[in-house]
Amino acid sequence: MSAQAHAKGALAVQAVTDPTSLGFLKPPGELGVDILAAEGQSLGNPLAFGGPHLGILACRAEFVRHMPGRLVGLGKTTKDARGTC
């Protein structure tokens, strides 16, 4: 399906409601998916009476400036120690 989308110049977005299924299904990156959204509750979060859980968003590296939310990266401090920010 992503091949069909790319042939038309469109992007392929996949929504995964249970990411534990990715343990035996082919990974979305290998299927040519450009942007992935998933619900992370089944990865070990409590049900919380239907409240919000964990929204997963992933995309190709070239789309990094279009991605909403926070991106945590790894860098070096002035003392050459490892730091996240």
Partner 1 sequence: MQGWLQALYEYQGMIQTLTCIDLANASMYDGATATSEAVRMALSLTGRDTVYLSRGLHPRYREVVTTLLTPTSA
- Contact residues: partner 1, CB under 8 A: 1, 9-11, 13, 15-17, 19, 22, 27-30, 33-41, 52-61, 63-64, 66-74, 83-85
Beta carbon of residue 10, minimum distance to partner 1 (angstroms, whole number): 6
Least gap, CB of 31 to partner 1 (angstroms):
9
Buried/exposed 50-79: b ≥16 CB within 10 Å, e otherwise: eeeeeeeeebeeeeeeeeeeeeeeeeeeee
